[in-house]
Structure 1
Amino acid sequence: MKEQKRIYEGLITESLPNGMFGVCLDNEDPILGYVSGRIRHSFIHIYTRSYRVKIAVSCYDSTRTRGRII
């Protein structure tokens, strides 16, 4: 059975190395986001403080510290 993911929205606050980004969710929680393969393959540029993104977080991650930017 496929794993269910929770989808959150937020604003990118900082750019980190290796395709990682600091994201502040709408409920003011900070989260570390990494770029999904589709975005990386399409060479889409993500800039700080100007993009609202959707983040998929695993339902097994109880701390909600990492998510995939989709």
Structure 2
Amino acid sequence: LEMEGVITQCLSNGLFRVKLKDNGVLILAHISGKIRQRYIRILLGDRVIVELSPYDLKRGRITHR
């Protein structure tokens, strides 16, 4: 389940608060392995694509910046 969102807060250890574009819900997301390997910087206000967990819709993985 992929959705678009905006980074609203940078937390520690590669965790971010993301506000989803469709419904405005705040979720907790971490960086995917490919982004971490390539040292892609994610900053406050960046538009990202988040892959949501089907088990917990409040958590996800950032797959694209």
TM-score (norm 1): 0.84
Secondary structure of 2:3's partner? strand
Residue in 1 that maps onto 2:51: 56
Query: One-letter code of the match for 2:61?
Result: R
Calculate the aligned-residue CA RMSD, in Å: 0.8
Q: Which runs of 5+ in 2 are unaligned?
A: none
User: Rg larger in 1 or in 2?
Assistant: 1
Q: Which runs of 5+ in 1 are unaligned?
A: 1-5
**Percent of aligned positions with the same letter in both sequences?**
45
Secondary structure of 1:48's partner? coil
Cα deviation, residue 55, structure 1? 0.6
Residue in 1 that maps onto 2:61: 68
